[in-house]
Amino acid sequence: MININQNTLHTHDDHHQQPHYFLPFLLILIFAIVEVVGGLWTGSLALLSDAAHMFSDVG
């Protein structure tokens, strides 16, 4: 016989889990730095402005 009064509440909530924002933050930061270096090396205003836009996304 099945007892339906048993507590079968099962959750996957982990209160100690941190948000996974570090990896995307790091990737955007690395790409922005590469764009700054490439923009300065080639004199490309487009790369420099895109790098500034990416830095504004990070900050």
| pLDDT one-digit tens code per residue, 2-57 | 666 666 666 666 666 677 888 999 999 999 999 999 999 999 999 999 999 999 98
Q: List, as one string, the DSSP characters of 4-54.
A: TTS--------TTPPPS-HHHHHHHHHHHHHHHHHHHHHT-HHHHHHHHHH
Q: Look at the pTM and tell me if it is higher than 0.85.
A: no
Between the two ends of the chain, the Cα-to-Cα distance in Å is 59
In a 13 Å sphere around the CA of 21, the CA atoms on its Cβ side amount to 5
Please answer whether residues 32 and 55 qualify as being in contact, where contact means their C-beta atoms are separated by less than 8 angstroms.
yes
